[in-house]
Structure 1
Amino acid sequence: MRLQDARRDHYRRLAKDQGYRSRAAYKLKQLDDSYRLLKKGYRVVDIGCAPGGWVQVAAEHVGPTGRVVGIDLKEVEPVANAIILQGSITDPLTPARIADALGEGNERSVADVVLSDLAPNISGMWEVDHARQIDLTRSALALAKSILRQGGSAVFKVFEGEFLKELKAEMTAAGFQKVLVSKPSASRQESSELYLVCLNFAKN
């Protein structure tokens, strides 16, 4: 068995054994280990949350005093201690829906952290897939800017390629004081998948 296949099987088995809906849960766990993104009491929004693995991890970390809101085009099975919304991130009503969910029973209707593991349907044509993924991330960034608190953080999945440098510059221009590139070991090492970890948001 190839090393990457063994690693993939390892995280798939772990997810099954530990009750996570996808092996991707370990990507977020490893990102949080590195950057301490998720804290008790935090309010977290997960964009493109299906099947719910990241929502599960976030809910564990923020605890009962925090709040996790996930949104996806697909219907997602309920997750304990989280609110799941169905809809498009480009819908003009989505920021208000998320704010309402974050502030339910609490005056705080802004997010401490925004997570995006969005990816397009893969066509197999690399230039097309990379461009589509960048567009998705730009939509996620626009939503994050509208719901993130001053000093908040965000994580965006990206594909390595010619538009990545430009996208990083857009993250900085959007108000993030630090934009770091990370590849968790739970990601397939032969894939072009990376994550932009964006810290200390300053609202413009």
Structure 2
Amino acid sequence: MGKVKGKHRLDKYYYLAKEHGYRSRAAWKLVQLESKFTFLRSAHAVLDLCAAPGGWMQAAVERVPVGSLVIGVDLDPIRPIRGAISVQEDITRPQCRAAIKRLMAENGCRAFDLVLHDGSPNVGGAWAQEATSQNALVIDSLKLATEFLAPKGTFITKVFRSQDYSAVLYCLRQLFEKVEVDKPLASRSASAEIYVLGFKYKAPAKIDPRLLDVKHLFEGGKEPPKVIDVLRGTKQKRHRDGYEDGDTTLRKVCSAADFIWSDTPLDILGSVSCITFEDTACVPIKDHALTAEEVKALCDDLRVLGKQDFKYLLKWRMQIRKALSPSQKASPATANIEHESKDDEDERMLNEMEELTYSMERKKKRAKKLLAKRRAKDKARKGTGMQVDALEDGYTDHELFSLSSIKGKKDLVVVDSAEFDDETGDVQDSEHEDNREEDQEYSSSDVDSDEERRRYDEQLEDFLDEAYERFVARKDGGTKQRKRSKQNYKDGQLFEGGE
């Protein structure tokens, strides 16, 4: 790569590199990445691909542990660096792999903890070809890294933001557990370069060869173009993907007929900049009474329209579409009646199931909250030494005096006549009443007799009287003690005054 001349390139990082003895200002990119992600301190073996003139090798030697192995590979010769080994080879050829393996065997290294790549092709005037060759160089360096990188190792590479950028990210995410993207301050803002860091190499036993095939990866990794949502009120993020293939203009034109008869009108409004009426198929649309001058003015430049303008165009499209196709009013509707009815029924059943599950969950939560509150009250009473009140919530029968079963005058008459069932709320016949009386006589768990009620009332009164006496005694004792201490304090003051 030839030397680039220009005073505007001599920024502060250029002079900092000169002051610290680095061979290139790119060394500060690695220094800044290291300060943010910290990957050099634990690396005992480092492989730097496309390392000339050696700035990254110098920064790595200064920051790796003492005695670590640092190897730099490049097509151009690299002047010797103390603490590092340089190799002049092409990373795409098998001779490079053989040379690296030989150096690893000589230095007792089994695998590299860190693989660096900061290479780029010779820059010319064809930007599309240079970006593709740069990303192809990244894949070649990744191939080499998969052979020599240790498990849980780190791979750092420079990538140009282009149409193949997402494919490179996809490839790295298949091989590394964590992938970070960063642009250090030392990288010029005008440059399209960005650095991708892959941490914790998965070291798979077998790698799909198509994953590292440039042709297959870049063809299959293209994502569909993103369309701007014209009805979205918030400001959207810009797409920095550049121009489309073979298209270097920003003005895109669509005919009015295509817009009206299209099934995706929103995509057309978000992707084109103008709707024209020049086509022969657009003549009836242009001369139609619904096509006002305002519609034509809005179609001239879609980039300056707002949300309400786009709504107006969509409404015009629906009206003129109905006006131009009167015969197709009910034909599509009748064809899809059965399908829509089935879909509606399924949707209704799903909604009912969701409501049932939601109500059950609410009941469970409510019961859980009540139980938690009751337990908290009991715990607080036990902690303060208070006696449990037998009349508190949870210790009485709420259905004993419940009036929910009486809903009218007839129910009141039934209750007065003692022919009402408390449990079911139904009127009992005389035969059922006799059977119930017989069951009550022989029931061992029935406590509704007058004798049991009288005993229960006496025990409750005794319990309340005893609790009140304890409370009064405790209160009187505290009052007497306060009076005694106050009297002692007054006596002490009188004694001091007499002296």
- Same fold per superposition (TM over 0.5): yes
Deviations 1:83-133 (A, max 9, x none): 000101011132232133234332x23100000001011122221111010
Match of 1:100 among 99, 102, 108: 102
Letter in 1 for 2:202: A
Percent identical: 37
Match of 1:65 among 64, 67, 79: 67
Distance 2:121 2:107 in 1: 35
Aligned to 2:114: 113
Distance 1:27 1:151 in 2: 23
Three-state SS of the structure 2 residue aligned to 1:187 is coil
Q: Which of structure 1's runs of 4+ aligned residues deviate more than 4 A?
A: 5-8
Residue 197 of structure 1 pairs with residue 197 of structure 2: yes
Three-state SS of the structure 2 residue aligned to 1:93 is helix
Residue 17 of structure 1 pairs with residue 19 of structure 2: yes
1:7 shift after superposition = 8.5
Three-state SS of the structure 2 residue aligned to 1:32 is helix
The aligned runs of 1:157-172 (5 Å cut-off) are 157-172=158-173
**Structure 1 unmatched runs, 5+:** none
Deviations 1:134-180 (A, max 9, x none): 1110100000111000000010101011110111101122x211111
Counterpart contact for 1:41–1:62, Cα < 8 Å: yes
Counterpart contact for 1:110–1:149, Cα < 8 Å: yes
Counterpart contact for 1:103–1:110, Cα < 8 Å: no
Relative to total residues, which structure has the larger strand share, 1 or 2? 1
Aligned to 2:41: 39
The farther-off stretch of 33-42 and 127-136 is: 33-42
Counterpart contact for 2:153–2:200, Cα < 8 Å: yes
Distance 1:96 1:148 in 2: 15
RMSD: 1.6
Letter in 2 for 1:184: P
Letter in 2 for 1:128: Q
Counterpart contact for 1:42–1:112, Cα < 8 Å: yes
Counterpart contact for 2:48–2:71, Cα < 8 Å: yes
Letter in 1 for 2:193: E
Distance 1:33 1:104 in 2: 32
Distance 1:150 1:27 in 2: 25
Residue 53 of structure 1 pairs with residue 55 of structure 2: yes
Three-state SS of the structure 2 residue aligned to 1:84 is strand
Counterpart contact for 1:101–1:109, Cα < 8 Å: no
Letter in 1 for 2:133: R
Three-state SS of the structure 1 residue aligned to 2:190 is coil
Relative to total residues, which structure has the larger helix share, 1 or 2? 2
Give the TM-score of the pair, scaled to structure 2.
0.39
Higher-RCO chain (CA-CA 8 Å, sequence separation at least 6): 1
Aligned to 2:148: 147
Distance 2:133 2:107 in 1: 37
Counterpart contact for 1:153–1:198, Cα < 8 Å: yes
Distance 1:81 1:63 in 2: 11
